Amino acid sequence: MKFERNDYLVMAAVLIIVAVVFFILPANLKPSGTHTPSYSQQNSIEQSYDTPQQAPEENGSEQKKEISPLAIFFNLISLALFVVLGFILFKRFKGDDLIFVMIKAKKNKLSGKRFLQVSVYNLGKHPASLNAPTIEFSHHKETKRYVITRVENQVIYPLTIPSNQGHRINIDVEKFYEKVTELKAYKSVRMIYSTASGKAFRSLKAKI
């Protein structure tokens, strides 16, 4: 699932505003109310032998916290940002295609060769048609991508996955490192799947 740079900025802004509204501002609010007078010990002894003192009149309300206009403003801004964030998430996840991609870097116990286990799940309401996936190798900000045209010497893409079902393949990453020597420095890998509708779904990165 790809988010644009602006989407991440909005999410970061929401977290900052929430931290300000719920943690910083409440600490600066000062309670206001009536001040209870203090009596000396001698006065309290003398008063105990006189006529009973009337209880101090209650103010009718307990101490209140003053909420500044700045706090109200930040609350309104926070609410607006949550609405924007919800709209962004709705825009990203709306539609029928909803694919979850998960990868695990593993090693063959017998041969010692590394391979990538790729699991794909269709969480949408309808069957999803997947195009041939792309494997992405990254080193810092540099990336190299290759399209997986065959799996175990068989052409299986485009592949249709029914709703609420999954698909799993193993990719021999050693072949890439053997054929392209410059890939040895590219230790982070992830998979990218696209559907017939044009949406792209990405896995998290895994270390090889």
Residue 205: both structure tokens together: 């990165």
**DSSP-based three-state secondary structure for 61:** coil
Quote the CA–CA distance of 160 and 155 in Å, as a whole number: 13
Q: What is the pTM of this model?
A: 0.56
Quote the CA–CA distance of 195 and 66 in Å, as a whole number: 54
- pLDDT reported for residue 36: 44
Residue 117 confidence (pLDDT) above 90? yes
Superfamily of domain 99-207: Immunoglobulins (2.60.40.10)
pLDDT greater at residue 71 or residue 151: 151
- pLDDT reported for residue 176: 92
Q: What is the mean pLDDT of residues 94-120?
A: 87
pLDDT greater at residue 193 or residue 97: 193
pLDDT greater at residue 147 or residue 59: 147
Residue 126 confidence (pLDDT) above 70? yes
Residue 129 confidence (pLDDT) above 60? yes
In the chain, what are the domain boundaries? 5-54+67-93, 99-207
Is residue 92 very low, low, confident or very high in pLDDT (cuts 50, 70, 90)? low
- pLDDT reported for residue 98: 87
Quote the CA–CA distance of 84 and 75 in Å, as a whole number: 14
